[in-house]
Amino acid sequence: MAGRGARAAGAGGDLRRLADACGALLATSAAAKGLFRGSPWDLDVSGSFASPLASELISAADMIVGFGCSLNMWTMRHGGLIGPEATVAQVDDEGRRDRREPAGPTSASSATWRRPREPCWKHWTAAPWPVYRSEDLRARIGREARWRDVPYADEERRQPDRPRAR
């Protein structure tokens, strides 16, 4: 997950490459919305504005890595998006710890994720991560990751006797 700090550092391309190396999915905070636009693995916004698919996949993740984002109540839906067994790592230059003690590098400079020879890059890309990326998931993200693609029922039209708000 990338936030305002990742956007300000211009790290979108670097984070895409890291996610590709790890087989990870991508998401942003509301402040970084659109940072991964065009990637077939972009879940769009996390947290309070997340689509049902993004919420489902983020909640099922075994690891969440926040780059330049606070992982606060808004990006993590008051902690409800983090599965009970998930490892949470936070990489930013402010050393924040908002929900849990992060596992992994913290208080890193914004350039940390840009250095492929840095230990964190080697660790994250060499680990035997489970493969989340599949053609079925790619198609599902293409159909369901954005709110504009999520079907809804117009409750107001289904309940004609209900008074309308003015």
| Mean pLDDT within 84-100 | 68
Q: How far is CA 94 from CA 11, 87, 90, 102, in A?
A: 17, 20, 10, 13
Strand ranges, E, within 19-103: 26-28, 42-45, 63-67, 87-91
More confident residue, 165 or 96: 165
How far, in Å, CA of 119 to CA of 43, rounded? 27
Predicted local confidence at residue 147, as pLDDT: 84
How far, in Å, CA of 88 to CA of 69, rounded? 12
DSSP 48: G
Please give the single-letter amino acid code of residue 153.
Answer: A
DSSP letters spanning 151-165? ----HHHH-TTSPPP
Token pair belonging to 154: 């117009």
Summarize pLDDT for 107-138 with one digit per residue, the tens.
343 444 444 445 455 555 555 555 678 899 99
Q: Which residues pair with 89 in a beta bridge?
A: 65
Predicted local confidence at residue 11, as pLDDT: 92
Predicted local confidence at residue 130, as pLDDT: 54
Closest of 165, 130, 96, 101 to residue 22, by C-alpha = 130
pTM, two decimals, is 0.72
Residue for token pair 């964190």: 120
More confident residue, 88 or 125: 88
Summarize pLDDT for 2-38 with one digit per residue, the tens.
999 999 999 999 999 988 888 899 999 989 999 999 9
DSSP 45: E
Q: CATH code for 4-158?
A: 3.40.50.1220
Closest of 74, 49, 79 to residue 64, by C-alpha = 79
